Amino acid sequence: MLRITRLSARHEITRAMRARTFRLGLLLVSGLLVASFVLETQRLTVESRERDALTEHERTQWEQQPDRHPHRMAHYGLFVFRPPSPLGFFDAGVEPFTGNAVFLEPHRRNLPNFSAASQASELARFGRPTAAFVLQLLLPLLVFCATFDSVAGEREAGTLRLALAQGACTSGLLLGKLLGHVMLVTGWVVPGMTLAMVVHLASEALPTTTDNLLRVGVLALVYALYLAGCAALGVLVSALHRRAYGALITLLAVWLVCWVAVPRFASELAARTRPAPSRAQLELTIARATQGMDGGHGSDSPAAKALQDKLFAEHGVQRLEDLPVNVKGLLMQQAEDQTTALYDTHYGKLRAAQMAQNDFVQAFGVLSPPLALRTASMAVADSDLAAFETFLEQAEEYRTYFIAELNRLHTTKVRYEHDRATRVGREHFAAIRPFRHERRRLADTAPAMRQLAVAALAWLILLGWLAWRSLRGEEDRA
Amino acid sequence: MRKVRVLSKLELKQVLRARALPYTLLLLTVVGSAAVLMGSARVREERVALATREAFLAEQASHLVAAHKNDLGLLFYYLAMPTEHSPNAWTPLAAGLRDMHPYSQHLRMLGLTPQLYAGELSNPLKQLAGGFDYAFVVVFLLPLLVIGLGYDVRSRDRELGTDLLLRSQPTRVTYVVALRLMLRAGFVAALALGSFSAVALALALPLDLRIAWWMIALVGYLGFWTALVLLVSAWHRSSGWNATVLIGAWLALCVVLPALANATLMDAPTRSGIELTLSQREVMNAGWDRPKRLTMDPFLARHPEYRASQPPAEAFSWPWYYAMHEAADLHVAANVAAYDKALAAREQRTSALAMVLPPLALSRALTHFAGTDLNAHLAYKASVAQYHEALKRIMYPLLFGGASTADLQVEVLPRHHFAPEPKQPHWSELLSIWVQAAFVLMLGLLGAAYRGGWPGWRRLARRRGGR
């Protein structure tokens, strides 16, 4: 059987390479892959350089502000920028659709704006030709074009019967054909990908860290398995058909439905059945909730009165001027805590709604292999929604920190009686630490990998069932 | 004539008897209805949200008036007027950029620039997947039906062994093939137009020229794909080869070329977008540290009518506060215009590209009618800027005149409405679909004539050893 497997694998490679359409397709896809690497690397380099420059500019501006009242400085605010993921050249994930800059200010929490897609015409909706896009969507189609006649074609030509009559066993033959195609596709993708990654590592576009190397390794493995699965699907569907072109039509239909239609359909259905608030709705909710809140600027609210009484009792004084601290700064912080909690609640709801949508879509991964792969690929490339959320959380943490720092200055360095007229030295502002974005570690992508594993298992069962059916069918025929 | 009728009847039977056809049609119907239903659900959500905002405004106004009885400036500070980019009857059909840009937002009396660039809060993963609407079904899936019905229009006879039979008939093969293709194209066109009429009735689309233009574009688009099928079948290759090449063409035109063009032609003005916000904020904040006169003097030069009632020179005053915001907006006005121009240029380039990519042209026709394209968004932004200006024109006299809260009636403030109803199509793009369809059809006919042996070509073909 081993010999048969080997023979039939070799035969399969020769057969596929002999087809002109396949060679042409291979050439086109390779060209597209190279173009995608070049274009995306270029984009990523420009973007990360721009954001570094903006981050630096922003910090310089902050440090160069004149002596000011701390609350003025809070309203001057800070912009923080999301550095693009270093593996974004391979899989840009949701990065083109998420904003890149967040303005941090007191009393309110902003969401990032200026995403690449929001500045584009509708052409942006046709997608970005990243390597991940080519590998997830186009390469399977090429694999199907190579595999559709592997068994059915031989059956049609009568060579299958001949081979079986000469004593070749069906399972060996099938396994050989499968191996041949797996070798064909991985033998071409893996070296190409390795080369691309090595170029990126060598040119320091991708920093050489253990984490990055591991990520590249995981990506290579996941994609190789995915393409092998596609090859298996192609061969098995071919084995179930009497005529090659019937197999082709089935495979094309499967590709259209599972690769093109299901991902879009699932996310639209998720958006309708698990609605998340739009900007208009969220703004309205927050406006309702913040109605009557003054951001701590007033001093006659019940909360302000309560705080004053508490301070008077603590320090044994009767007048605000006699307090060792500035009650206005404390009030400001108290109001800030309140609004922060409020925004946490509402953005938490928004996030939860979006997560519910994504989980719903993810369930369709069982129907659509690229959907399952996409999530894992983006997670490993650190360009998925969770990576973006990590940035948002860190930005919010930083906002809380720097506003609290400024309110502390307000409380301790500004006297109540001269509040508006006081200016605090700029060195105090420069002492506020700059924002630093910490990427997630590879281990944090475990949930995405688990989801992939579930979908992969479902597909493995399907492939196994197809294999069993085609083997049985062959025996029946023989 | 009778011959044509008999042949047509026979061929139509063949088309309709295909085993996969009922399933495909069922699938398409389900998918198409789902797309339209989900689209109308989306628009219904939008309308509800818009109505709620309007209702909230009254609530907010009475609250503000009560809370800031003697501080009109502070009332204006908190006042948030809703803006509205209303959906029209066509909006359910094409989401377009609707999930990128908000259809409604707060507009405050503060600086306009930072408020104009707020994005919609859509789920990025959904944006990545792309929309699933009527536009998607028509632009992406309908050509596949054309391909699916027509890819074996010439090759099937050879593969079924009926080729000789066909060629021994008194009718020329080319005629039969042409008839087959026309029947199939007519079938798909009838299906597309019929289903669109049903959609138009269901959504109560207004009876204007848009319906006619859309149908013309749609028929041209189907014609383009039919011509492409003819061109590929003229090669006389196997059905499998035809299907592969046609799917390849579909992939190139609908997926790969637009994506490549997106990556190469569209240099992102990301930086300039952020920079104008940064610059606005510098000027805004520097205003606090400068003598108030430096802000007020240019303001009064622009608005001489308020000269008589100058606010205090050094203390905080609301007129000065809002003047500072206006100064910051004016400072970046040129940059904002340049940014919008860059976006408009991008739209122009997309339009130029649509001239050679029929799928893009068709999808643009629909988003244009639905008011969900970039042009509509730019026009919406311009209308918001105008509205902001109009509100300021109401606010300034009150602030400078020292009016009290009682003098302001929020109910009578003008409301913002933006409801694009474009009636004319993009002429050149519409024409380009038909021109390309005609061009490919000509190539296909030439190919068919050359390979299939039209009278004049026969001798030449024979000499070349063809069939």
pLDDT truncated to tens, each residue of chain B (467 aa)? 677 788 788 777 877 777 778 888 898 999 999 999 999 999 999 999 999 988 888 888 888 888 887 889 989 998 999 999 999 999 999 999 998 899 999 899 999 988 988 888 889 999 888 889 999 999 999 999 999 888 888 777 777 777 777 777 777 777 777 788 888 899 999 999 999 999 999 999 999 999 999 999 999 999 999 999 999 988 878 887 888 899 899 999 999 999 888 888 766 565 678 888 888 888 888 888 888 888 888 899 899 988 887 777 778 889 999 999 999 999 999 989 989 988 898 899 999 999 999 999 999 999 999 999 999 999 999 999 999 999 999 999 999 888 888 888 888 899 999 998 898 899 999 999 999 999 999 998 888 777 655 544 455 555 554 44
Give A-chain residues touching B79 at CB under 8 angstroms: none
| Residue A19, pLDDT score | 81
Put simply, the answer to whether A128 touches B50 (Cβ < 8 Å) is no
Interface of A with B in 376-405 (CB under 8 A): 385, 388
Nearest CA in chain B to A53: B271
Tell me whether residues B373 and A116 touch, CB distance under 8 A. Answer: no
* Residue in A43, A64, A268 to test binding to B, most B beta-carbons within 10 Å: A268
Report DSSP letters for A366-382, one per residue.
GT-HHHHHHHHHHHHTT
Residue of chain B nearest A245, judged by CA positions:
B240
Query: How close A149 gets to chain B, by Cα (Å)?
Result: 9
SS3 state of residue B65:
helix
- If you measure CA to CA, which chain B residue comes closest to A126? B259
Beta carbons within 10 angstroms of residue B345's beta carbon: 12
Contact A467/B at CB under 8 A: no
Choose the mutation target among A21, A37, A109, A125 for the interface with B, i.e. most B CBs under 10 Å. Answer: A125
H or E element, residue A29 = helix A20-63
Q: How far is CA B412 from CA A44, B381, B386, B396, B408, in A?
A: 50, 23, 18, 16, 9
Please report, in angstroms and rounded to a whole number, the separation of the first and last CA atoms in chain A: 18
Give the residue from chain A lying closest to B101, CA to CA.
A118
A250 touches chain B (CB under 8 A): no
The residue of chain B with its CA nearest to that of A370 is B129
List chain B residues with CB under 8 Å of A55: none
**Spatial distance between the Cα atoms of A164 and A438, rounded to a whole number of angstroms:** 60
Q: How far apart, in whole angstroms, are the C-alpha atoms of residue A432 and residue A63? A: 9
- Residues of chain A neighbouring B274 (CB-CB closer than 8 A): 54, 79, 100-101, 114
**Minimum Cα–Cα distance from B103: chain A residue:** A280
Chain A residues in contact with B256 (beta carbon < 8 A): 32, 129, 138
Cα(A36)–Cα(A128) distance, integer angstroms = 9
- Tell me whether residues B282 and A98 touch, CB distance under 8 A: no
Query: pLDDT value at position B175?
Result: 77
Which among A114, A244, A264 has CB closest to B240?
Answer: A244
Which residue is closest to B62 within chain A, CA to CA? A291
DSSP H helices, B68-120, are 72-78, 113-116
Q: Tell me the nearest-neighbour CA distance from B201 into chain A, angstroms.
A: 23
Probe site for chain B from A126, A144, A147, A391 (most B CB atoms < 10 A):
A126
Say yes or no: A180 contacts chain B, CB-CB below 8 A: no
In chain A, the residue whose alpha carbon lies closest to the alpha carbon of B269 is: A119
Of B123, B269, B353, the CB nearest to A119: B269
From the list A109, A303, A406, A128, the residue with the least C-alpha distance to B258 is: A128
| pLDDT string in tens for chain A (478-residue length) | 678 888 888 888 888 888 887 888 888 888 998 888 888 888 888 888 889 999 999 999 999 999 999 999 999 999 999 989 989 989 999 988 988 889 999 999 998 888 888 888 888 777 778 899 999 999 999 999 889 888 888 888 888 888 888 877 888 888 899 899 988 888 888 788 888 888 888 877 788 888 888 998 899 889 989 999 999 999 999 999 888 878 888 898 899 899 999 999 999 999 999 999 998 899 899 988 888 777 677 667 787 888 888 888 888 888 888 888 898 899 999 999 999 999 999 999 999 999 999 999 999 988 899 999 999 999 999 999 999 999 999 999 999 999 999 999 999 999 888 888 889 999 999 999 999 999 888 888 888 888 899 999 999 999 999 988 888 876 666 5
Rounded Cα gap, residues B426 and A234, in angstroms: 43
Under 8 Å CB pairs connecting chains A and B tally to 262
Cβ of B239 within 8 Å of Cβ of A245? The answer is yes
Q: Can you list the alpha helix ranges (DSSP code H) found in A240-367? A: 244-254, 262-273, 279-290, 302-315, 327-363
Task: State how far the alpha carbon of A256 is from the alpha carbons of A112, A144, B145, B274, in Å.
Answer: 35, 12, 11, 39
- Return the percentage of chain B with pLDDT > 90, whole number: 46
The reply to whether residue A121 touches residue B118, judged by beta carbons under 8 angstroms, is no
CA atoms within 13 A on the CB side of A246: 17
What gap in Å lies between CA A37 and CA A89, rounded to an integer? 7
pTM (2 d.p.)? 0.91
Could you tell me which chain B residue has the CA closest to the CA of A263? B129
Which is it for strands A108-109 and B80-82: parallel, antiparallel or unpaired? unpaired
Say if residues A362 and A448 touch (Cβ distance below 8 Å).
no
> Per the structure block, which two tokens stand in for A170?
């069906």
Hey, which residues 336-355 in chain A have their CB within 8 Å of chain B?
A: 350, 354
Verify whether the Cβ–Cβ distance A113 to B367 is below 8 Å: no
- Choose the closest CB to A284 out of B53, B101, B346: B53
User: pLDDT tens-digit profile of B107-117?
Assistant: 999 999 889 88
Cross-chain residue pair B123–A292, CB shorter than 8 Å? no
B-proximal residues of A, 51-70, CB under 8 Å = 54, 57-58, 61, 65-66, 68
Contacts of A77 in chain B (CB under 8 A): 281
